Structure 1
Amino acid sequence: MIRTGMTRRALLGAFAATAVTAAPTYSNAVGFLRGAGDVRRITMYSGRTGESIDTIYWVEGEYVRDAVKEVWSFMRDWRTGEVKQIDTRTIDIMAAAHNLMDVSEPYLLLSGYRSPQTNAMLRARSSGVAKNSLHMKGQAADLRLATRSVAQMAKAAAACKGGGVGRYSRSDFVHMDCGPVRTWGA
Structure 2
Amino acid sequence: MTNDTGTMITRRGLLGAFAATALIATPTYSNAFGFLRGAGDIRRIKMYSGRTGESIDTIYWVEGEYIKEALKEINHFMRDWRSGDTVNMDPRTVDIMAASHRLMDASEPYMMLSGYRSPKTNAMLRSKSGGVARNSLHMKGQAADLRLKSRSTGQMAKAAAACASGGVGKYSRSNFVHMDCGPVRSWGG
**TM-score (normalizing by structure 1):** 0.91
C-alpha root-mean-square deviation of aligned residues, in Å?
1.6
Q: Give the whole-Å Cα distance in 2 for the aligned partners of 1:99 and 1:23.
A: 11
1:18 aligns with 2:20: yes
2:143 to 133, 140, 145: 140
Counterpart mapping for 1:113-152 below 5 A: 113-152=116-155
Match of 2:184 in 1: 181
- Segments ≥4 residues shifted beyond 3 Å: 10-14, 21-25
2:113 to 103, 110, 113: 110
Q: After superposition, give the CA deviation of every residue in 1:33-79 in whole Å (9 maximum; x if it has no partner).
A: 01112100000000000000000000000000000010000000000
Residues 24, 165 of structure 1: alpha-carbon distance in 2 compared, 3 angstrom cutoff: farther
Which structure has the greater CA radius of gyration? 2
Q: Secondary structure at the match of 2:59?
A: strand
Match of 2:86 in 1: 83
Match of 1:63 in 2: 66
Q: Give the whole-Å Cα distance in 1 for the aligned partners of 2:27 and 2:166.
A: 21
**TM-score (normalizing by structure 2):** 0.89
The percent of aligned pairs where both chains have the same amino acid is 71
Match of 2:7 in 1: none
Please state how far the C-alpha of 1:14 moved relative to its aligned partner.
4.1
**Unaligned 5+ runs, structure 2:** 1-10
Residues 101, 167 of structure 1: alpha-carbon distance in 2 compared, 3 angstrom cutoff: same
Higher RCO (CA < 8 A, seq sep 6+): 1
Aligned residues: 177
Q: Give the whole-Å Cα distance in 2 for the aligned partners of 1:83 and 1:116.
A: 12
